[in-house]
């Protein structure tokens, strides 16, 4: 059971988590429209696409954002395969926790 002191320490963390969740939901809405516009307009401008991918990376811990990120990467693959490979690698470094944990374990075993 939480004491009053424990509760006062936990409350700000809960509020931050709620705020982060709300921010992620807004980001999904914004980037959803952006991705659809890029694909519908058949945008080839690499700066526009990469700016979108850069922003999305911060929210790829969310399944909906990850689905949008993958969708845009599949579209961008025909335009700049090398860049897509780099973005996938960045995603893995940031969000692929299992793979990162295995890499750390291998380093520790060496």
pLDDT tens sequence across 48-95: 999 999 999 999 999 999 999 999 999 999 999 999 999 999 999 998
* SS3 (DSSP) at 89: helix
Dihedral (CA of 70, 64, 48, 51) sign? negative
**20 or 73: which leads in pLDDT:** 73
Question: What are the b/e assignments for 60-79, b being 16+ CB within 10 Å?
Answer: bebebbeebbeebbebbeee
CA atoms of 20 and 16, how far apart (whole Å): 6
Q: Which residues are CB-contacts of 28 (< 8 A; sequence separation ≥ 6)?
A: 59, 62, 64, 65, 68
pTM across the whole model: 0.76
| Confidence category of residue 32, pLDDT binned at 50, 70, 90 | very high
């Amino acid at each position: 059971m939480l004491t009053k002191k424990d509760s006062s320490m936990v409350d700000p963390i809960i509020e931050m988590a709620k705020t982060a969740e709300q921010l992620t939901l807004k980001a999904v809405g914004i980037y959803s429209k952006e991705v659809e516009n890029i694909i519908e307009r058949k945008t080839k401008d690499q700066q526009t696409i990469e700016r979108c991918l850069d922003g999305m990376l911060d929210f790829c811990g969310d399944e909906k954002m990850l689905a949008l990120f993958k969708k845009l990467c599949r579209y961008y693959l025909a335009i700049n395969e090398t860049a897509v490979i780099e973005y996938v690698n960045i995603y893995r470094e940031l969000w692929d926790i299992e793979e990162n944990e295995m890499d750390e374990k291998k380093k520790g075993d060496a």
